[in-house]
Amino acid sequence: MSASDESLQLTATDLRMATFRLARRLRCVRAVDAMSDAQLAVLATLRMHGRRTITALAERERVTAPSMTNMINGLEEQGLVVRTPDDEDRRRVQVDITDAGVAIVAQTIQRRDEALAEMLGELDFTEQELATLREASALMRKVVDR
């Protein structure tokens, strides 16, 4: 049996509001305060998926190629990414994350997980409630991974 349109709409509204507020609170927690969310997203993409072209990164992050070039320039100046010529097409450039970039992503993830665990701990959830939250997060991943 499928959910009603009204139930879907109410759930969508509640979920959007809760995830937006949670994401906003967690975005404030990072390993480097001067780094933007967009820069962290690029580093996280490179860490997770490996080297990419600037065009591929721009498409993934939904920005223009010139905007991505500027972002990569800044990350490169900080020593967080390197550019290498493409093996197949020397006109193309691949962007790779450096060890320093990997460390920033890992530290940011750790700090955000710790911040969220602290928020959860302050609310004195029961084990059953925490299990429910884990189940909800699995359902949310199913929505975004489709």
Give the model confidence (pLDDT) of 44-73 as tens digits.
999 999 999 999 999 999 999 999 999 999
pLDDT digits (tens, 9 = 90+) for 10-27: 999 999 999 999 999 998
Domain with 63 in it: 5-145
Mean pLDDT, range 36-47, rounded to an integer: 94
pLDDT confidence of residue 30: 87
pLDDT digits (tens, 9 = 90+) for 81-126: 999 988 888 788 999 999 999 999 999 999 999 999 999 999 999 9
CATH of the domain at 11: 1.10.10.10
Cα separation, 77 vs 75, whole angstroms: 5
pLDDT confidence of residue 56: 94
pLDDT confidence of residue 81: 98
pLDDT confidence of residue 33: 80
Burial class (CB in 10 A: 0-12, 13-18, 19+), 121: exposed
Query: In this structure, what token pair is assigned to residue 90?
Result: 């020397």
Tell me the whole-structure pTM to 2 decimals: 0.81
**pLDDT grade for 1, boundaries at 50, 70 and 90:** low
pLDDT confidence of residue 92: 86
pLDDT confidence of residue 87: 82
Which CA distances in Å does 16 have to 8, 11, 89, 98, 119? Answer: 12, 8, 42, 34, 19
Counting the structural domains of the chain, the total is 1
Query: In this structure, what token pair is assigned to residue 76?
Result: 């490169």
pLDDT confidence of residue 144: 87
